[in-house]
Chains A and B, each alone.
Chain A
Amino acid sequence: MAATRASVYAKPAAGATGFETFSWYFFRITGLLLIFLAIIHLVIMHVSNDVSTTSYQFVANRYANPFWRVYDLLLLTLALLHGMNGLRVIVDDYVRGRGWRLAWMSFLGVVTAAFWLTGTLTIVSFHAGNAPLGTFFHALLHLK
C-alpha cells in the first residue's frame, strides 16, 4: 500500500480528493444522520410500541403515510452503504493478496446491490392485502 494513500482515520487535507477522502466524509455525514434515523426507528419499534405488536396491519397503517416509506428507504440506504463501506475498510486492513482483495471487493459490491434492491422492493412495493411473494411461490409450487 502506498504511504501517501488517504487514511480511514486521519482527516484529509483541505482540498483533498479521491475515493478515500469521499469515504472519510461519507462515514461522518451518514453517521450523524443515522444516529437520528436508527435510534428513532428503535424507539418507535421497541419502546413506544412492543416489537411483538408491530403486525402486518401496523405496517399497513404506517406505510399509508409516504413519509415513513421515505424514512425507511433513507435508513436502509444509508445504513447499508455505511455498514458495507465499514466492512470494506476491515477487508482492506486484513486481506493482502491482490486477487483476494479484488474478489472481496467484488463480493461486497454484489452483496450491497442485492440487499439494497431487496429492501427497496419490500418498502416500495408494499401494498396492504397484496402478497406478491405468496402468489409467486404458490404459482411455483403448482407448476406441473
Chain B
Amino acid sequence: MYRGQSGMWSWLLHRVTGVAILLFLLVHIVDITILGFGPTVYNNALTVFSYPFVRVVSLGLIAAVLYHSFNGLRITLVDFWPKGARYQQQMFYGVLAVTAIGFLAMGYFIMLPVFQGCHAHLCG
C-alpha cells in the first residue's frame, strides 16, 4: 500500500470508480443488444439519451473513466518508474487536476444542448 492519507483516498476512489464503470459496462452490453430488434426499436430506445437527467449520468461515467484512467497510469508509474513512489502524492494531485480539466472539457459538450435551451430533438 501507498503511504499517507492521499494514498488511501486514491485507492478508495480507484475501487469505487472501477465498480461503477464495470456496472455501466454490463448495462451497456445489454442495451446494445437492442440493435438486434432493428432500426425502429433501437432509435426509439436511443431517445433516452437526450434527457437532461441521462446526460448528468453520462457526466458521472466520464468523470469515473477519466479518474480511473489517470490514476491507473499513476499506479503503473509508481510500479515501473524508479522515482514513482517518491512522487506518488504529487502525481495524485496531478491525476485530480487532469481529471478535472478533461471532465470540464468533455462535460461542456455533453451539456451543451441543455445550455442551449433544449430545442430540437436533443433533449427528449
Contacts and interface: CB of A to CB of B under 8 A. Distances in A.
17 contacts: A28-B75, A32-B73, A35-B70, A35-B72, A38-B65, A42-B106, A46-B110, A50-B113, A51-B49, A54-B46, A76-B29, A83-B22, A84-B22, A115-B29, A119-B29, A122-B29, A122-B32
A73 interface: no
Interface string B95-122: 0000000000010011011000000011
A4 interface: no
Contacts of A83: 18, 21-22, 25
A34 interface: yes
A contact residues, range: 35 or more
A126 B34 CA distance: 11
Contacts of B49: 51-52, 54
B30 A46 contact: no
Interface of B: 1, 15, 18-19, 21-22, 25-26, 29-30, 32-33, 35-39, 41-43, 46-47, 49-50, 58, 61-62, 65-66, 69-70, 72-73, 75-76, 79, 106, 109-110, 112-113, 121-122, 124
B39 A90 contact: no
Top 7 nearest A-B pairs by Cβ distance? Answer: A131-B38, A133-B36, A83-B22, A52-B50, A56-B39, A134-B37, A119-B29
